[in-house]
Chains A and B, each alone.
Chain A
Protein backbone atom coordinates (compact mmCIF):
# COMPACT_ATOMS: atom_id res chain seq x y z
CA UNK A 1 0.00 0.00 0.00
CA UNK A 2 1.38 3.41 -0.85
CA UNK A 3 2.00 5.96 1.84
CA UNK A 4 -0.50 8.37 0.28
CA UNK A 5 -3.36 5.87 0.55
CA UNK A 6 -2.43 5.27 4.17
CA UNK A 7 -2.47 9.01 4.82
CA UNK A 8 -5.84 9.36 3.06
CA UNK A 9 -7.35 6.58 5.13
CA UNK A 10 -5.94 8.03 8.33
CA UNK A 11 -7.34 11.48 7.52
CA UNK A 12 -10.71 10.09 6.55
CA UNK A 13 -10.80 7.95 9.65
CA UNK A 14 -11.60 10.91 11.88
CA UNK A 15 -15.22 10.63 10.78
CA UNK A 16 -17.56 7.71 10.21
CA UNK A 17 -18.37 6.58 6.66
CA UNK A 18 -21.87 7.81 7.34
CA UNK A 19 -20.70 11.34 8.23
CA UNK A 20 -18.46 11.36 5.16
CA UNK A 21 -21.46 10.29 3.03
CA UNK A 22 -19.25 7.52 1.68
CA UNK A 23 -20.98 5.11 -0.74
CA UNK A 24 -20.05 2.21 1.56
CA UNK A 25 -22.11 3.70 4.39
CA UNK A 26 -25.01 2.26 2.40
CA UNK A 27 -25.47 -1.40 3.35
CA UNK A 28 -26.88 -2.12 -0.12
CA UNK A 29 -23.58 -1.02 -1.67
CA UNK A 30 -21.69 -3.28 0.72
CA UNK A 31 -23.88 -6.23 -0.25
CA UNK A 32 -23.25 -5.50 -3.93
CA UNK A 33 -19.50 -5.71 -3.29
CA UNK A 34 -19.89 -8.96 -1.34
CA UNK A 35 -22.01 -10.48 -4.11
CA UNK A 36 -19.79 -8.98 -6.84
CA UNK A 37 -17.86 -10.46 -9.75
CA UNK A 38 -15.29 -12.28 -7.63
CA UNK A 39 -18.07 -14.65 -6.56
CA UNK A 40 -20.67 -14.14 -9.30
CA UNK A 41 -18.15 -15.13 -11.99
CA UNK A 42 -17.36 -18.33 -10.12
CA UNK A 43 -13.75 -17.40 -9.28
CA UNK A 44 -14.58 -18.03 -5.61
CA UNK A 45 -17.56 -20.05 -4.29
CA UNK A 46 -20.51 -18.31 -2.64
CA UNK A 47 -20.61 -19.03 1.12
CA UNK A 48 -23.96 -20.74 0.67
CA UNK A 49 -22.46 -23.24 -1.82
CA UNK A 50 -19.40 -23.79 0.35
CA UNK A 51 -21.37 -24.81 3.43
CA UNK A 52 -23.72 -26.88 1.27
CA UNK A 53 -20.72 -29.11 0.39
CA UNK A 54 -20.79 -30.42 3.96
CA UNK A 55 -24.58 -30.40 4.30
CA UNK A 56 -24.58 -27.33 6.55
CA UNK A 57 -26.98 -25.24 4.46
CA UNK A 58 -29.32 -23.78 5.57
CA UNK A 59 -27.53 -22.75 8.73
CA UNK A 60 -29.84 -23.27 11.71
CA UNK A 61 -29.66 -21.93 15.27
CA UNK A 62 -28.94 -24.20 18.23
CA UNK A 63 -29.84 -23.36 21.84
CA UNK A 64 -29.64 -19.63 22.55
CA UNK A 65 -26.68 -18.94 24.84
CA UNK A 66 -25.71 -15.34 24.20
CA UNK A 67 -27.87 -12.24 24.02
CA UNK A 68 -25.74 -9.50 22.51
CA UNK A 69 -27.14 -6.01 22.82
CA UNK A 70 -25.75 -3.05 20.92
CA UNK A 71 -26.69 0.00 22.99
CA UNK A 72 -25.57 2.54 20.38
CA UNK A 73 -23.09 3.39 17.67
CA UNK A 74 -21.61 6.45 19.39
CA UNK A 75 -17.93 6.02 20.26
CA UNK A 76 -15.03 8.21 21.39
CA UNK A 77 -12.78 6.48 18.85
CA UNK A 78 -12.91 6.10 15.05
CA UNK A 79 -10.99 2.86 14.49
CA UNK A 80 -9.94 2.19 10.90
CA UNK A 81 -11.26 -1.39 10.97
CA UNK A 82 -14.57 -0.76 12.77
CA UNK A 83 -17.40 -2.93 11.41
CA UNK A 84 -19.96 -0.76 13.19
CA UNK A 85 -18.77 2.48 11.53
CA UNK A 86 -18.92 3.89 15.05
CA UNK A 87 -17.65 7.31 16.07
CA UNK A 88 -18.43 10.54 17.93
CA UNK A 89 -20.69 11.61 15.06
CA UNK A 90 -23.02 8.60 15.33
CA UNK A 91 -26.21 9.50 17.19
CA UNK A 92 -27.97 6.12 17.23
CA UNK A 93 -28.49 5.41 20.94
CA UNK A 94 -30.73 2.86 22.66
CA UNK A 95 -33.51 4.48 24.69
CA UNK A 96 -34.53 3.44 28.19
CA UNK A 97 -37.80 2.18 26.71
CA UNK A 98 -35.98 -0.28 24.43
CA UNK A 99 -33.67 -1.20 27.33
CA UNK A 100 -36.81 -2.04 29.30
CA UNK A 101 -37.93 -4.41 26.52
CA UNK A 102 -34.46 -6.00 26.57
CA UNK A 103 -34.63 -6.44 30.37
CA UNK A 104 -37.91 -8.29 30.00
CA UNK A 105 -36.19 -10.74 27.64
CA UNK A 106 -33.05 -10.98 29.83
CA UNK A 107 -35.22 -11.98 32.82
CA UNK A 108 -36.99 -14.72 30.88
CA UNK A 109 -34.37 -16.07 28.49
CA UNK A 110 -32.35 -19.21 29.03
CA UNK A 111 -29.26 -17.48 27.64
CA UNK A 112 -26.37 -17.66 30.12
CA UNK A 113 -24.42 -14.72 28.67
CA UNK A 114 -25.39 -11.08 28.27
CA UNK A 115 -23.00 -9.16 26.04
CA UNK A 116 -23.23 -5.35 25.84
CA UNK A 117 -21.50 -3.70 22.95
CA UNK A 118 -21.54 -0.51 20.86
CA UNK A 119 -19.94 1.95 19.92
CA UNK A 120 -18.65 2.65 23.36
CA UNK A 121 -21.56 1.27 25.40
CA UNK A 122 -20.58 3.49 28.35
CA UNK A 123 -21.51 6.59 26.30
CA UNK A 124 -25.19 5.66 26.36
CA UNK A 125 -26.64 8.00 29.06
CA UNK A 126 -28.67 5.10 30.49
CA UNK A 127 -25.77 2.62 30.44
CA UNK A 128 -25.31 2.49 34.22
CA UNK A 129 -29.01 2.17 34.89
CA UNK A 130 -29.18 -0.68 32.37
CA UNK A 131 -26.19 -2.50 33.92
CA UNK A 132 -27.66 -2.15 37.41
CA UNK A 133 -31.03 -3.53 36.31
CA UNK A 134 -29.57 -6.30 34.12
CA UNK A 135 -27.17 -7.47 36.83
CA UNK A 136 -30.19 -8.24 39.04
CA UNK A 137 -31.47 -10.75 36.46
CA UNK A 138 -29.03 -13.47 37.55
CA UNK A 139 -27.21 -13.83 34.25
CA UNK A 140 -24.15 -16.07 34.65
CA UNK A 141 -21.73 -14.12 32.48
CA UNK A 142 -22.33 -10.41 32.03
CA UNK A 143 -19.94 -8.93 29.45
CA UNK A 144 -19.31 -5.29 28.64
CA UNK A 145 -17.14 -4.65 25.59
CA UNK A 146 -15.14 -1.63 26.65
CA UNK A 147 -12.66 0.09 24.35
CA UNK A 148 -10.49 1.03 27.38
CA UNK A 149 -9.78 4.65 26.34
CA UNK A 150 -13.32 5.62 27.37
CA UNK A 151 -12.23 5.16 30.99
CA UNK A 152 -9.81 8.06 30.55
CA UNK A 153 -11.85 10.09 28.05
CA UNK A 154 -13.66 12.15 30.67
CA UNK A 155 -13.68 12.49 34.46
CA UNK A 156 -17.18 11.02 34.60
CA UNK A 157 -15.83 7.71 33.31
CA UNK A 158 -12.80 7.42 35.64
CA UNK A 159 -14.74 5.29 38.15
CA UNK A 160 -15.80 2.71 35.55
CA UNK A 161 -13.39 0.04 36.89
CA UNK A 162 -15.09 0.34 40.33
CA UNK A 163 -18.53 0.35 38.72
CA UNK A 164 -17.73 -2.79 36.70
CA UNK A 165 -16.40 -4.47 39.83
CA UNK A 166 -19.49 -3.61 41.84
CA UNK A 167 -21.70 -5.36 39.30
CA UNK A 168 -19.29 -8.23 38.63
CA UNK A 169 -19.09 -7.28 34.97
CA UNK A 170 -16.81 -9.33 32.73
CA UNK A 171 -14.72 -6.76 30.84
CA UNK A 172 -13.69 -7.57 27.27
CA UNK A 173 -11.42 -4.99 25.67
CA UNK A 174 -9.81 -4.43 22.31
CA UNK A 175 -6.03 -4.31 22.12
CA UNK A 176 -4.72 -4.75 18.58
CA UNK A 177 -1.08 -5.14 19.55
CA UNK A 178 1.34 -4.86 22.43
CA UNK A 179 3.34 -2.24 20.58
CA UNK A 180 2.40 1.44 20.32
CA UNK A 181 2.82 1.83 16.55
CA UNK A 182 0.42 -0.91 15.48
CA UNK A 183 -2.21 0.02 18.03
CA UNK A 184 -2.24 3.71 17.15
CA UNK A 185 -2.30 3.04 13.40
CA UNK A 186 -5.51 1.03 13.75
CA UNK A 187 -7.22 2.91 16.56
CA UNK A 188 -5.81 6.44 16.47
CA UNK A 189 -2.89 8.42 17.93
CA UNK A 190 -2.52 8.13 21.69
CA UNK A 191 -4.83 5.12 21.99
CA UNK A 192 -2.02 2.79 23.04
CA UNK A 193 -0.88 4.86 26.03
CA UNK A 194 -4.46 5.40 27.20
CA UNK A 195 -5.29 1.70 26.80
CA UNK A 196 -2.24 0.75 28.89
CA UNK A 197 -3.25 3.21 31.60
CA UNK A 198 -6.84 1.88 31.58
CA UNK A 199 -5.63 -1.72 31.87
CA UNK A 200 -3.49 -0.73 34.84
CA UNK A 201 -6.53 0.91 36.45
CA UNK A 202 -8.54 -2.29 35.91
CA UNK A 203 -5.70 -4.36 37.39
CA UNK A 204 -5.62 -2.04 40.42
CA UNK A 205 -9.20 -2.91 41.39
CA UNK A 206 -8.50 -6.61 40.84
CA UNK A 207 -9.47 -7.16 37.21
CA UNK A 208 -7.42 -9.68 35.22
CA UNK A 209 -5.27 -10.86 38.13
CA UNK A 210 -4.35 -14.57 37.95
CA UNK A 211 -6.69 -15.79 40.72
CA UNK A 212 -9.30 -13.07 40.42
CA UNK A 213 -12.94 -13.72 39.59
CA UNK A 214 -13.08 -10.30 37.97
CA UNK A 215 -12.63 -11.37 34.36
CA UNK A 216 -10.59 -9.20 32.02
CA UNK A 217 -10.11 -10.54 28.49
CA UNK A 218 -8.52 -8.81 25.54
CA UNK A 219 -9.57 -8.88 21.91
CA UNK A 220 -6.96 -8.94 19.19
CA UNK A 221 -7.95 -7.81 15.68
CA UNK A 222 -5.23 -7.85 13.02
CA UNK A 223 -4.24 -4.29 12.12
CA UNK A 224 -4.34 -4.82 8.36
CA UNK A 225 -5.34 -7.12 5.52
CA UNK A 226 -4.27 -10.39 7.10
CA UNK A 227 -5.79 -13.07 9.30
CA UNK A 228 -5.03 -13.65 12.98
CA UNK A 229 -2.51 -16.34 13.83
CA UNK A 230 -2.98 -19.05 16.41
CA UNK A 231 -4.87 -17.60 19.40
CA UNK A 232 -2.82 -19.40 22.05
CA UNK A 233 0.49 -18.26 20.53
CA UNK A 234 -0.76 -14.67 20.32
CA UNK A 235 -1.99 -14.83 23.92
CA UNK A 236 1.45 -16.01 25.02
CA UNK A 237 3.18 -13.12 23.20
CA UNK A 238 0.69 -10.53 24.54
CA UNK A 239 0.98 -11.78 28.12
CA UNK A 240 4.76 -11.77 28.07
CA UNK A 241 5.06 -8.30 26.51
CA UNK A 242 2.35 -6.58 28.58
CA UNK A 243 3.71 -8.08 31.82
CA UNK A 244 7.36 -7.27 31.13
CA UNK A 245 6.81 -3.78 29.74
CA UNK A 246 3.83 -2.53 31.77
CA UNK A 247 3.21 -5.05 34.58
CA UNK A 248 -0.27 -5.73 33.16
CA UNK A 249 -2.23 -8.93 33.81
CA UNK A 250 -5.22 -10.21 31.90
CA UNK A 251 -6.99 -13.56 31.54
CA UNK A 252 -7.56 -14.58 27.92
CA UNK A 253 -6.92 -13.18 24.49
CA UNK A 254 -9.63 -13.59 21.84
CA UNK A 255 -8.27 -13.48 18.29
CA UNK A 256 -11.01 -12.09 16.06
CA UNK A 257 -10.87 -11.97 12.27
CA UNK A 258 -11.83 -8.67 10.64
CA UNK A 259 -14.92 -9.17 8.49
CA UNK A 260 -15.06 -7.47 5.09
CA UNK A 261 -17.82 -5.00 5.90
CA UNK A 262 -18.14 -1.29 6.68
CA UNK A 263 -14.87 0.56 7.39
CA UNK A 264 -12.70 -2.53 7.06
CA UNK A 265 -14.23 -3.18 3.64
CA UNK A 266 -13.57 0.45 2.75
CA UNK A 267 -9.92 -0.02 3.78
CA UNK A 268 -9.61 -3.28 1.81
CA UNK A 269 -10.91 -1.65 -1.36
CA UNK A 270 -8.91 1.59 -0.96
CA UNK A 271 -5.67 -0.30 -0.35
CA UNK A 272 -6.31 -2.76 -3.22
CA UNK A 273 -6.39 -5.70 -0.80
CA UNK A 274 -10.03 -6.78 -1.18
CA UNK A 275 -9.50 -9.61 -3.66
CA UNK A 276 -6.46 -11.05 -1.87
CA UNK A 277 -8.24 -10.84 1.47
CA UNK A 278 -11.30 -12.70 0.19
CA UNK A 279 -8.99 -15.36 -1.27
CA UNK A 280 -7.28 -15.69 2.13
CA UNK A 281 -10.63 -16.12 3.88
CA UNK A 282 -11.92 -18.70 1.40
CA UNK A 283 -8.61 -20.62 1.38
CA UNK A 284 -8.69 -20.77 5.18
CA UNK A 285 -12.32 -22.00 5.19
CA UNK A 286 -12.80 -24.63 7.89
CA UNK A 287 -16.06 -26.65 7.93
CA UNK A 288 -15.47 -27.49 11.61
CA UNK A 289 -15.72 -23.78 12.43
CA UNK A 290 -19.17 -23.62 10.78
CA UNK A 291 -20.44 -26.07 13.38
CA UNK A 292 -19.86 -23.58 16.23
CA UNK A 293 -20.14 -20.26 14.45
CA UNK A 294 -21.55 -17.68 16.86
CA UNK A 295 -24.78 -16.94 15.00
CA UNK A 296 -25.90 -20.47 15.96
CA UNK A 297 -26.06 -19.56 19.67
CA UNK A 298 -26.46 -15.77 19.65
CA UNK A 299 -29.13 -13.16 19.02
CA UNK A 300 -27.98 -9.63 18.33
CA UNK A 301 -30.21 -6.67 19.27
CA UNK A 302 -29.72 -3.24 17.72
CA UNK A 303 -30.05 0.15 19.46
CA UNK A 304 -33.60 0.43 18.10
CA UNK A 305 -34.61 -3.10 19.15
CA UNK A 306 -34.39 -5.02 15.87
CA UNK A 307 -33.09 -8.58 15.98
CA UNK A 308 -30.21 -10.00 13.94
CA UNK A 309 -28.27 -13.26 13.67
CA UNK A 310 -25.07 -11.44 14.70
CA UNK A 311 -23.57 -7.98 15.12
CA UNK A 312 -22.17 -8.14 11.56
CA UNK A 313 -25.59 -8.87 10.04
CA UNK A 314 -26.87 -5.97 12.13
CA UNK A 315 -24.38 -3.64 10.46
CA UNK A 316 -25.46 -4.94 7.04
CA UNK A 317 -29.10 -4.44 8.08
CA UNK A 318 -29.93 -8.12 7.51
CA UNK A 319 -32.71 -8.63 10.05
CA UNK A 320 -33.55 -12.17 11.23
CA UNK A 321 -35.58 -14.26 8.79
CA UNK A 322 -38.38 -14.83 11.28
CA UNK A 323 -41.89 -13.61 12.00
CA UNK A 324 -40.38 -12.16 15.17
CA UNK A 325 -38.06 -9.36 14.15
CA UNK A 326 -38.18 -7.00 17.14
CA UNK A 327 -37.28 -7.34 20.81
CA UNK A 328 -40.79 -6.30 21.85
CA UNK A 329 -42.18 -9.45 20.18
CA UNK A 330 -39.29 -11.67 21.31
CA UNK A 331 -40.06 -15.40 21.35
CA UNK A 332 -37.37 -18.08 21.75
CA UNK A 333 -39.32 -20.84 20.03
CA UNK A 334 -40.26 -18.84 16.95
CA UNK A 335 -36.74 -17.45 16.58
CA UNK A 336 -35.16 -20.88 16.95
CA UNK A 337 -36.96 -22.06 13.83
CA UNK A 338 -35.36 -19.46 11.59
CA UNK A 339 -32.73 -19.96 8.90
CA UNK A 340 -29.64 -17.86 9.61
CA UNK A 341 -28.96 -15.22 6.96
CA UNK A 342 -25.55 -15.64 5.35
CA UNK A 343 -23.43 -13.95 2.72
CA UNK A 344 -19.78 -13.81 1.73
CA UNK A 345 -18.75 -11.83 4.84
CA UNK A 346 -19.48 -15.05 6.80
CA UNK A 347 -16.19 -16.49 5.51
CA UNK A 348 -14.62 -14.24 8.17
CA UNK A 349 -16.09 -16.38 10.96
CA UNK A 350 -15.12 -19.74 9.39
CA UNK A 351 -11.50 -19.07 8.47
CA UNK A 352 -8.84 -21.16 10.18
CA UNK A 353 -9.77 -21.84 13.78
CA UNK A 354 -12.92 -19.76 13.25
CA UNK A 355 -13.78 -16.44 14.80
CA UNK A 356 -16.47 -15.15 17.12
CA UNK A 357 -16.89 -12.43 19.71
CA UNK A 358 -15.45 -15.01 22.17
CA UNK A 359 -12.46 -15.78 19.94
CA UNK A 360 -11.80 -19.01 18.06
CA UNK A 361 -14.50 -21.68 17.81
CA UNK A 362 -12.84 -24.76 16.25
Chain B
Protein backbone atom coordinates (compact mmCIF):
# COMPACT_ATOMS: atom_id res chain seq x y z
CA UNK B 1 0.00 0.00 0.00
CA UNK B 2 1.11 3.54 -0.68
CA UNK B 3 2.24 5.57 2.30
CA UNK B 4 0.30 8.57 1.09
CA UNK B 5 -3.47 8.88 0.65
CA UNK B 6 -2.99 10.66 -2.68
CA UNK B 7 -0.73 9.37 -5.46
CA UNK B 8 -0.72 11.43 -8.70
CA UNK B 9 -0.36 8.18 -10.69
CA UNK B 10 -3.77 7.04 -9.35
CA UNK B 11 -5.50 9.63 -11.55
CA UNK B 12 -4.52 7.56 -14.61
CA UNK B 13 -6.28 4.59 -13.02
CA UNK B 14 -9.59 6.42 -12.57
CA UNK B 15 -11.13 4.36 -15.37
CA UNK B 16 -10.41 1.19 -13.36
CA UNK B 17 -13.40 1.87 -11.09
CA UNK B 18 -15.50 0.17 -13.77
CA UNK B 19 -13.72 -3.12 -12.98
CA UNK B 20 -15.60 -3.54 -9.71
CA UNK B 21 -18.90 -2.21 -10.97
CA UNK B 22 -19.01 -2.10 -14.72
CA UNK B 23 -22.57 -0.88 -15.16
CA UNK B 24 -22.42 2.01 -12.70
CA UNK B 25 -18.86 2.92 -13.72
CA UNK B 26 -19.81 3.10 -17.39
CA UNK B 27 -22.95 5.08 -16.65
CA UNK B 28 -20.86 7.56 -14.67
CA UNK B 29 -18.23 7.99 -17.42
CA UNK B 30 -20.89 8.34 -20.13
CA UNK B 31 -22.58 11.02 -18.05
CA UNK B 32 -19.27 12.72 -17.25
CA UNK B 33 -18.27 12.81 -20.92
CA UNK B 34 -21.63 14.19 -21.97
CA UNK B 35 -21.58 16.94 -19.34
CA UNK B 36 -18.33 18.39 -20.70
CA UNK B 37 -19.34 18.45 -24.36
CA UNK B 38 -20.08 21.73 -26.11
CA UNK B 39 -23.61 22.80 -25.24
CA UNK B 40 -25.38 25.98 -24.16
CA UNK B 41 -22.11 26.53 -22.33
CA UNK B 42 -18.85 26.08 -24.23
CA UNK B 43 -16.47 23.29 -23.25
CA UNK B 44 -14.04 26.07 -22.32
CA UNK B 45 -16.50 27.64 -19.87
CA UNK B 46 -17.25 24.25 -18.35
CA UNK B 47 -13.55 23.60 -17.89
CA UNK B 48 -13.27 26.77 -15.80
CA UNK B 49 -16.33 25.83 -13.73
CA UNK B 50 -14.80 22.38 -13.16
CA UNK B 51 -11.55 24.00 -12.05
CA UNK B 52 -13.35 26.22 -9.54
CA UNK B 53 -15.36 23.29 -8.16
CA UNK B 54 -12.20 21.16 -7.96
CA UNK B 55 -10.81 23.69 -5.52
CA UNK B 56 -13.98 23.96 -3.49
CA UNK B 57 -14.21 20.18 -3.08
CA UNK B 58 -10.42 20.14 -2.55
CA UNK B 59 -9.77 17.29 -4.97
CA UNK B 60 -6.06 17.19 -5.89
CA UNK B 61 -6.72 14.85 -8.82
CA UNK B 62 -9.34 17.22 -10.22
CA UNK B 63 -7.08 20.26 -9.75
CA UNK B 64 -4.29 18.53 -11.71
CA UNK B 65 -6.71 17.41 -14.40
CA UNK B 66 -8.45 20.76 -14.93
CA UNK B 67 -5.28 22.85 -14.73
CA UNK B 68 -3.92 20.72 -17.56
CA UNK B 69 -7.25 20.85 -19.40
CA UNK B 70 -7.22 24.65 -19.13
CA UNK B 71 -3.66 24.88 -20.44
CA UNK B 72 -4.63 22.68 -23.38
CA UNK B 73 -7.54 24.94 -24.18
CA UNK B 74 -5.33 28.03 -24.07
CA UNK B 75 -7.02 29.33 -20.93
CA UNK B 76 -4.75 31.90 -19.28
CA UNK B 77 -3.56 31.73 -15.68
CA UNK B 78 -5.43 34.97 -14.95
CA UNK B 79 -8.70 33.31 -16.05
CA UNK B 80 -7.90 30.23 -13.99
CA UNK B 81 -7.17 32.22 -10.84
CA UNK B 82 -10.36 34.25 -11.24
CA UNK B 83 -12.31 31.00 -11.48
CA UNK B 84 -10.67 29.76 -8.26
CA UNK B 85 -11.61 33.03 -6.55
CA UNK B 86 -15.19 32.66 -7.72
CA UNK B 87 -15.27 29.24 -6.07
CA UNK B 88 -13.52 30.52 -2.96
CA UNK B 89 -15.90 33.49 -2.66
CA UNK B 90 -18.92 31.19 -2.73
CA UNK B 91 -17.29 28.86 -0.24
CA UNK B 92 -16.41 31.66 2.20
CA UNK B 93 -19.80 33.28 1.57
CA UNK B 94 -21.45 29.99 2.47
CA UNK B 95 -19.59 30.05 5.76
CA UNK B 96 -20.30 33.70 6.48
CA UNK B 97 -24.00 33.57 5.60
CA UNK B 98 -24.33 31.15 8.53
CA UNK B 99 -23.31 34.13 10.61
CA UNK B 100 -26.93 35.24 10.26
CA UNK B 101 -28.03 31.99 11.89
CA UNK B 102 -25.58 32.69 14.70
CA UNK B 103 -26.92 36.21 15.08
CA UNK B 104 -30.53 34.95 15.09
CA UNK B 105 -29.75 32.35 17.71
CA UNK B 106 -27.78 34.83 19.79
CA UNK B 107 -30.61 37.34 19.74
CA UNK B 108 -33.19 34.66 20.55
CA UNK B 109 -31.25 33.45 23.54
CA UNK B 110 -30.41 36.89 24.84
CA UNK B 111 -32.64 39.03 27.00
Contacts and interface: CB of A to CB of B under 8 A. Distances in A.
Interface stretch (A86-94, A220-228, A291-299, A300-308): A220-228
A276 B43 CA distance: 23
B71 A233 contact: no
A177 B68 contact: no
Contact of B74 (A234, A276, A279, A283): A234
B12 interface: yes
B74 A226 contact: no
Nearest to B15: A283
A177 B12 CA distance: 28
Nearest to A224: B71
Contacts, number: 23
B73 interface: yes
Interface string B59-71: 0000000001001
A227 B74 contact: no
A229 B68 contact: no
Contacts of B73: 229, 233-234
Contacts of B68: 226
Given A179-B76, A279-B12, A222 B71 contact: yes
Contacts of A179: 76
A228 B12 contact: no
A41 to B, nearest CB: 14
A86 to B, nearest CB: 25
A247 interface: no
Interface residues of B, number: 10
Contacts of A237: 74
A156 B76 CA distance: 36
B46 interface: no
A177 B74 contact: yes
Nearest to B44: A233
B101 interface: no
B95 to A, nearest CB: 33
B72 interface: yes
A313 to B, nearest CB: 26
Contacts of B76: 179, 182
A179 B75 CA distance: 11
Contacts of A227: 72
Interface in A185-241: 222, 224, 226-229, 233-234, 237
The 4 closest A-B pairs by CB, nearest first: A229-B72, A229-B73, A226-B71, A226-B72
21 contacts: A177-B74, A179-B76, A222-B71, A222-B72, A224-B71, A226-B68, A226-B71, A226-B72, A227-B72, A228-B72, A229-B72, A229-B73, A229-B74, A233-B43, A233-B44, A233-B73, A234-B73, A234-B74, A237-B74, A279-B12, A283-B12
